[in-house]
Structure 1
Amino acid sequence: MVIFFLLGLSCLFSASTGQPTSSSRDGQLYEEDELHFSEQKIQEVLELKGRAFVIKRNFRTETPHRCHSVKVTEKIDDTTYTVSLGAAPSVQQRRSFIIVMNSTVNLLKTGSHQEYNAANYIYWHGLKSEVRKLLHVNADKTCLIMVENRHSSSQPAACQLLMPENTIDGFVPADCNDIYERNCPGESVVLYQEYCKDLPYLSFETALAAANGSPDAVEQGLFSLASAL
C-alpha cells in the first residue's frame, strides 16, 4: 500500500478537471484582479515559520489521504525556495505517518502583478512543474488560499485553503473562509485531522526502502515516482 501512495504523492497536490468555475468581477479572475493584489503577495506567505496544513480543497475530493502540508525548508535566493510537501497515506489510521518529498519553487509574477504572486513548483529536476497562484492571504497571516493556474473564468477554480500549524487548532477565519466559498465552489474535502500535527515524518526515500527492501528497488521506485509527477 505504501508504494502506491508514494507513486502518487505529488499528485495529491495537483488539480483535476471538471470542477465548477469560480465567481469573478466582469470575467476578471479574483487572483488577477488588481483590487485584490494587496492580498496576493506570495513572499509574505513564504516567510511564515513552520508547516502549513491544507484544511480543505475542492479538487481530487475522492482522495483517501490526509494531513497534506507544505513547509519552506530553504531559501536559495530571493525567488527560489525548497519546500517540503507531505501527506499521510491513510484517512483512518491515527498511527500513520506523513511522507514528505522536496520540491523546488520559483516565484513568478502573472498578469498585471508588480509583485510576486505565484509559484512554479518543480519536481524531479524539471520532469514536471505546476504553477499555483496565491488567491488570498488574510491580514494576520493565519489563513491562505492557493489556486491552480488558469487563464479564464471558464476554467475550473481548483483551490486549497491552508493554515499555519501554530494557528490551526482554532476556527478558519471567517473572511478567509468566505473568500474560499465564493471563489472556489463545488464539493470540498476536509483534509486536516486533529492528529495530523502529532504524526511522525518519513522521507519518501526511507519509505521506498522500507517498502521495497533493496537499492535497485528504491531506484526503480524513484523513477516510477518521477514518471508519475
Structure 2
Amino acid sequence: MSATPLWRRAVAEGIGTGLLVTVVVGSGIAASKLSPNDVGLQLLENAFATALGLAVLILMIGPVSGAHFNPVVSVVDWWIGRSSGAGLTPRDLGAYIPAQVIGAVLGAVLANLMYDEAAVSWSTTERSAGHLWLGEIVATAGLIVLIFALASSGRAALAPAAVGAYIGSAYWFTSSTSFANPAVTIGRAFSDTFAGIAPGSLPGFVIAQLIGAAVGVGLLRLLYPTAGRAADDVVTPHTKTPANTGAST
C-alpha cells in the first residue's frame, strides 16, 4: 500500500493523464502543420513525441501514483492484486479512474488552446471498423502484459523506456494506431485534429480496450501466474515515501 495520501495520488494521475493527452493531441496538431501533405510523416512525428513524452511522464509522476494514466491498467492492477493484498483497493480505483478521465479531457483542451484552436472541438474522425477494434485489442493486451511482466520480474525500473517504446512502435504495427487507453480515447474526442476520434467511435474503441485488457490478464495468468504480488510496482514502484526529503503528507 502506498504511503502517499489517496487525494495526492489521484491528482497525480489526473495531471499525468492530462499531460499525456496534451502530448498526443499537441504533437498531432504540430505534425499536421509542419507536414501538411505527408500523413506518414505526421504519424511518425506524433508517435515519436508520444513515446518520449510518455516515458518522461512515467519518470515524473510514477513515484507518486505509479503512473497508470490508464483506467484499464488501474482495473487490472486491482483485479490481479486482490488475492495477495497488493495493488489498488476499490477506493483507490474509484479515485483513479475519474481523475484519469477528467485529466484527459482537460489535457485535450490545453493542447487545443496552445495551438489557438477552439477549447473544445468535437472530432469528426470516424474510427469504427472491425479491423481497428482488433488493433485496439492487440495494443491493449500487449501493454498489459508488458507492464505487469516488468513488475513481476523485478524490472519495473525499465517501465518508462519500455512502455514508451511499446506505444511508439504500436502506433505503427496496429491498425488503430494504439490508443490502448479509455481515458486517452475519451480525451481525444474533444479535439477535431490529427489525433482525434469521433464521439460515435468511442464505444467500439473502449469495448475493444476492455476486451484487450481481459486478454492481457489471461496471458499473464499463463506466463506470470504470480504477477499479482507485484501489483504495487505497476507501472513503477510507489509504495514507499522517499527518504530524507523532508516531505510531509
| More RCO (CA 8 Å, sep 6+) | 2
- Bigger strand share: 1
Q: Please, what TM-score do these two structures have when normalized by structure 2?
A: 0.27
